[in-house]
Amino acid sequence: MAQKLKNNLEKKIFIKTFGCQMNEYDSNRIYDLVKSINYKKTDELDKADCYVLNTCHIREKATDKVYHDIGRIKKNFRGRKKPIIVVTGCVAQAEGDILLDREKYIDAVIGPQSLHKFNQIIKNIEKKSLQENLTGFDAKEKFDTLNYYKNSDSSVSSFLTIQEGCDKFCKFCVVPYTRGAEFSRPINELVKECKDLVSNGAKEITLLGQNVNAYCHNEKKLSSLISEISKIKDIERIRYTTSHPKDFTEDLIDIYRSHNKKLTPFIHLPVQSGSNKILEAMNRKHTVEDYLEIINKLREVNPRIKFSSDFIIGYPGETESDFNDTIKLLEKIEFINCYSFIFSPRPGTPAAKLNEIDHNTSKKRLVIFQNTAEKIKLRYRRSLFNKTALVLFENKVKNKDEFFGRDEYANSVIVKTKENLKGKIKKVKIKSGNQNTLFGEIDNKLNERNFAA
């Protein structure tokens, strides 16, 4: 009877996440909040009482995607009681008023730093149907509130936001306007949240921040935080993203020298361009030479380290020679993974006022860039065949006797097995692979021996 009453009171929430890992973390935390007011997650679009669109503003047409999704929800609910619609994330922050004005079906826009007020907003909407716009910037208040709610993410590989916002003001980027100034959470709070994640089954933690290596709380930097988190017994792996070259300080390089066994030898370090002229125009605050110096130092302290990066192709003012410098850098470093996009002006950023270069030229350059990057990636992946990788297994592949995991370099690896490998690290002999996935066999002989990563 009590269970029946509970089920009747229970409401359903559908959370759609766009964009980066920080949004994934935020979506998890939104769910931790709404559970306390009796909402349960659903994957069925037409069953939800509340929809959350957790948006990303980095790419073009982000706002259009929101209108498109709301159009679908409207269609699904034609002739029925309207569900609550909340838009969160960076589009909410950057274009909240425009969204509310244009789409009356939206009940609330909540910026990333106001997420902790989510339950209050839902209750307000349930009582009265006025549109709400919450786009303040109080990261401290947000995390102080979220700390009352245990992080219930139960993934083997979990995200932990340690830092938010950015003070760098790269001319193309909206983050300083949507996430506000740099804010770092206290170490003790982060260690506690990490322990919660471990108690839920996490073996790998990815520390997140828009400028993660700018982390600094009470003069403790990212290197100190990594050392503290490494002490948590059941954590096997630590990653962090996204770093800025300017904040890649000696202490962070040193931590690789100390052979911290839990820190993976894989660093995502966006460079954006291989031309000093373009880096300056972007206000990146570093040169190609600075970047190469960091890479060289890291390789010196640990030759196993590999890199991935982000590139913007066709930034205003980019000449053929600037572009060729970017290709040279790509080939020199041999990034094992690259994320590359044609420059797209984000409203409200200084770069949006610049004259764009010819779009066809940008498109051609992007093709050249991506073909070169793919060749490097393929070469790297082939070099892994018949070698052994340390794989942390995350989940069974649906409807197959296969298990999915990732190696230290975040490469996806699949093995055939009937065994439940969730949360285990195994040595895997890589047999084949394509651009996205490596396929291997568990090397039982090697796994019999005791090994250290």
Q: Which residues of the shown chain bind ligand SF4 in the complex (CB under 6 A)? A: 166, 168-170, 173, 175-176, 210-211, 244
Choice between 168 and 299, CB closer to ligand SF4: 168
CA angle 425, 428, 434 (to 5 degrees): 115
Residue pair 119/33 in contact (Cβ under 8 Å)? The answer is yes
Choice between 174 and 255, CB closer to ligand SF4: 174
Choice between 56 and 170, CB closer to ligand SF4: 170
Spatial separation of the C-alpha atoms in residues 78 and 304, rounded to whole Å: 57
Backbone angles phi, psi at 131, to 5 degrees: -70, 140
Residue 166 CB contacts under 8 Å (≥ 6 apart), including other chains: 173, 175, 176, 179, 181, 182, 210, 211, 214
Residue pair 394/405 in contact (Cβ under 8 Å)? The answer is yes
CB of 288 to ligand SF4, least distance (A): 17
CB of 272 to ligand SF4, least distance (A): 8
Pairing of strands 157-161, 204-208: parallel
Which class for 30: exposed (0-12), middle (13-18), buried (19 or more C-beta within 10 A)? buried
Choice between 91 and 166, CB closer to ligand SF4: 166
CB of 348 to ligand SF4, least distance (A): 13
Residue pair 438/411 in contact (Cβ under 8 Å)? The answer is yes
CB of 170 to ligand SF4, least distance (A): 3
Choice between 26 and 69, CB closer to ligand SF4: 26
Residue pair 65/18 in contact (Cβ under 8 Å)? The answer is yes
Q: Which one-letter DSSP state was computed for residue 263?
A: B
Choice between 35 and 285, CB closer to ligand SF4: 285
Choice between 62 and 173, CB closer to ligand SF4: 173
Is the CA virtual torsion 105, 107, 111, 116 positive or negative? negative
Distance (Å) of CA 265 to CA 148, 240, 334: 34, 11, 15
Choice between 57 and 237, CB closer to ligand SF4: 57
Choice between 168 and 220, CB closer to ligand SF4: 168
Residue 280 CB contacts under 8 Å (≥ 6 apart), including other chains: none
CB of 168 to ligand SF4, least distance (A): 4
Write out the two tokens for 351: 């770069």
Residue pair 18/89 in contact (Cβ under 8 Å)? The answer is yes
How far from chain centre, in Å, is Cα 284? Answer: 21
CB of 179 to ligand SF4, least distance (A): 8
CB of 326 to ligand SF4, least distance (A): 16
CB of 210 to ligand SF4, least distance (A): 4
Helix (H, G, I), strand (E, B) or coil at 327: helix
Helix (H, G, I), strand (E, B) or coil at 415: strand
CB of 243 to ligand SF4, least distance (A): 9
